[in-house]
Structure 1
Amino acid sequence: MPLPLKKALISTIECYNAGIYSAAAVSGRRTLEGIFKYLLPEGKRNGPLHKLIEEATAAKDLSGPLKTLSHAIRTGGNLGAHFDEEHEPDENVARQMVELLNYLVSYLYVLPAQISQLEADLGKNKT
């Protein structure tokens, strides 16, 4: 993670932890802007956030890491499922697989529900 992006994320978390929720929301948006700027080449990092999101998602295959993660977990599972005298999963491999499975489940199931809830809450705040 680029250092400026890490600093922006820490600032967002600090605002939230301090109970300054408006600042946390603004800082969170700023962090999001940084995320998408770093996904683009330097010459394309200007413009409003909505355009940065559209350009970054069009230019970069965001599903690639998900596919790689899924295959890595599958390969680790194969290591455990099939007998091999020379290769078997150890504690480190098993821990990594559990952690990555947790991230995958969160991404595929928890995150969509949380996004829907945020959208619903944002709709309530407009009235």
Structure 2
Amino acid sequence: MGQVFGDTTYHPSTTLELVKAADGYCGFASAFAVEATAARLHQTHVLAWPPKAAEHPLLLDFRERFFLGDGPWERPGVAQALHLYRRPESLWTWAENAPWLGERDPAICARALAPVVGEVNGKASERLLDAIDRVS
């Protein structure tokens, strides 16, 4: 806790290596959720604005299908989202009660990742092409 991983922290580490060294993840909702879920971290994703105000129109459908429904940002047992644009006071409740100990259930995390990365089979290029095909 207390360490900020920003966009400039990738080299020489990967984001997955960084989250494996972390105790938990709290930050603005981003694709970092994929790595945090793979690492089975407790997560809190801050949604400060409604999706249509925060996302480029070309990526909105992807964000809504994979992250705002039952994806890694809000899947019970994996992560919670703080919808600050709906309930700003939820930040204070979370700060007083956030659970940070222990890993998340691997099976629940795998189900949360499935719509985003597909089956983990060592064929990342094929999964990326499949994901691009699903979104386009």
Question: For the superposition of Structure 1 and Structure 2, which TM-score range results when normalised by the shorter chain?
Answer: under 0.3
Structure ranking higher in helix proportion: 1
Q: Which has the higher strand share?
A: 2
Q: TM-score, normalised by structure 1?
A: 0.27
Relative contact order, CA 8 A, sep 6+: which one is greater? 2
Larger radius of gyration: 1
TM-score by length of 2: 0.26
